[in-house]
Structure 1
């Protein structure tokens, strides 16, 4: 028997991912028509539909009336299209507006970490190629979500960020549809957080030479502000500058997918030098054979 939208929404909220896949496939044609009406017959229309699916997955708990799933999905795709249109405008903006929930909404990783969708999505992200996985983790699972910040951390251009996100969304949408009936077992998110906290604690204990030797490969590449800074000696100099001034580093959050780690941190400046470091930073870490091979750093603005 054909289930109603409301029945599918209620089932999806209890963990039935097949129900969510049926719901979104049922409305895919209408969403695409809405996107084309706003954007025209362009690749962006399909991008908007794929982004709508990911947004709906995150925000399904916010849908107050399960009977209104169709209008709710169409409103999401219209908002997504409006953001894409604003990016088309030839005005001097610093960066494209991120396709994220409005200020004050829960972060995507917080929603996923508490919801039915966590294992399903994390498994799908883990199947992406490494370059696509990096931009997705930053865009949807960190505080450093702008195209400019992602470009800095990955050492690529903003156009490349946009194209990788587009490819990732399409691949994720396909994978999520294909795996809706599967049971997934995600890596322990709290274990990644504990590992990151232990790492930062060891760094600040005055023994970070040992941390460098244990954790970081001799051929480490360090990137900051979008460019190559150097190797392990450069990282040691960065640590000297930070910890030598009495600055503390506190973990805000950590997430991982295979050999890609993303850490969000806060800096705690001493009272004697409250402007020594910016408020925080993001670390994009790429592992090889269990040790850090590449580390990108981007800084929060005051």
Structure 2
């Protein structure tokens, strides 16, 4: 009897997984509900009861939404889901160790992140369309949490937005809850092509940096960005196009160069993650990385937030540059 029950469970998992991989939204929802209890049990066994365990399960659900196409053995999908929860829990534990320097925190493997998978299977457009349905206050933390490589930690998202960590946690909880409804609402809608949009954003990032190095960053701001573009620090506007142009020119004059390493691109929000290369004669001139977090309006950048994974030596956005 037990063997037959196990066989029936495996057969149902196979059926639902294959249907979900073919784009069946209802099948994906049923699959996640079938294994939610097991996923939660793993989180509780590692983290104990509390909000961290809930976060680990909720984050795993979002990863599963984007990565269901990666499952090679549909009969073992339950183990795959529990593995995602286990990895989330271990990441939370590493981040909570007080003796570990903040800059040394382990980040999620880019190969295991949802953004790359969105490039390879049919659910990518559906997920992005649902994300776009969220209010901007919920959309930004959700994208930073799940689609970037270096701005995933609650503390870092809080720095970007200029809000307490508790507010970030609250907004992410609201975003996850709202996302479930948005996913259902957009399942049968026409979706824009996230792969094409992301490729275009990669090209724009490279073109922007090339133009800046050629001395034409001001032209890029005029032609491609909003005339009222705002450089933000948290929720406060600290400057506009003039400060951006002056800062970029100052960085380049000092020998600083930027190289894009990751792009997440929606219709209303784009994130360019850059490696920063300091001049050879001053290797400590700037932090090793920066993220450009851009809110878009009509396809143009309306707001820009710059985030560094490490603390700047000087005050935020010193006059010598923007990075």
If the TM-score is normalised by the length of the shorter chain, which range does it land in? 0.7 to 0.9
Q: Deviations over 1:49-72 (max 9, x none)?
A: 332211223443554532222343
Asked if the contact 2:107/2:149 (under 8 Å) is kept, the reply is no
Query: Aligned runs of 1:167-182 on 2, under 5 Å?
Result: 167-180=174-187
1:276 is matched with: 285
Asked if the contact 1:95/1:146 (under 8 Å) is kept, the reply is no
Matched, 1:119 2:125: yes
Question: Residue 114 of structure 1: SS of its match in structure 2?
Answer: coil
Matched, 1:255 2:240: no
Instruction: State which of 56, 69, 77 in structure 2 corresponds to 1:69.
Output: 77
- Separation of aligned partners in 2, 1:180 and 1:289: 24
Matched, 1:134 2:140: yes
When the two structures are superposed, what TM-score results if normalisation uses the length of structure 1?
0.80
2:241 is matched with: 232
Alpha carbons of 1:256 and 1:108: their partners in 2 closer, same or farther (altered >3 Å)?
Answer: same
Question: Residue 215 of structure 2: SS of its match in structure 1?
Answer: coil
Instruction: State which of 165, 172, 181 in structure 1 corresponds to 2:172.
Output: 165
Deviates more, 1:179-188 or 1:258-267: 179-188
- Separation of aligned partners in 2, 1:220 and 1:181: 35
Alpha carbons of 1:117 and 1:49: their partners in 2 closer, same or farther (altered >3 Å)?
Answer: same
1:221 is matched with: 230
Report the alpha carbon displacement of residue 286 of structure 1 after superposing the two structures with TM: 1.6
Give the count of matched residue pairs.
Answer: 300
Higher relative contact order (CA 8 A, sep 6+): 1
Alpha carbons of 1:251 and 1:75: their partners in 2 closer, same or farther (altered >3 Å)?
Answer: closer
Alpha carbons of 1:247 and 1:18: their partners in 2 closer, same or farther (altered >3 Å)?
Answer: same
Deviates more, 1:181-190 or 1:111-120: 181-190
Query: Aligned runs of 1:172-211 on 2, under 5 Å?
Result: 172-180=179-187, 184-187=191-194, 188-211=197-220
Unaligned runs of 5+ in 1: none
Question: Residue 69 of structure 1: SS of its match in structure 2?
Answer: helix
Report the alpha carbon displacement of residue 289 of structure 1 after superposing the two structures with TM: 4.9
Matched, 1:12 2:23: no
Say what the alpha-carbon RMSD is for the aligned residues: 3.6
Q: Deviations over 1:205-253 (max 9, x none)?
A: 2122222333444543323589754333322332122111233322223
When the two structures are superposed, what TM-score results if normalisation uses the length of structure 2?
0.75
Alpha carbons of 1:268 and 1:43: their partners in 2 closer, same or farther (altered >3 Å)?
Answer: closer
Matched, 1:146 2:153: yes
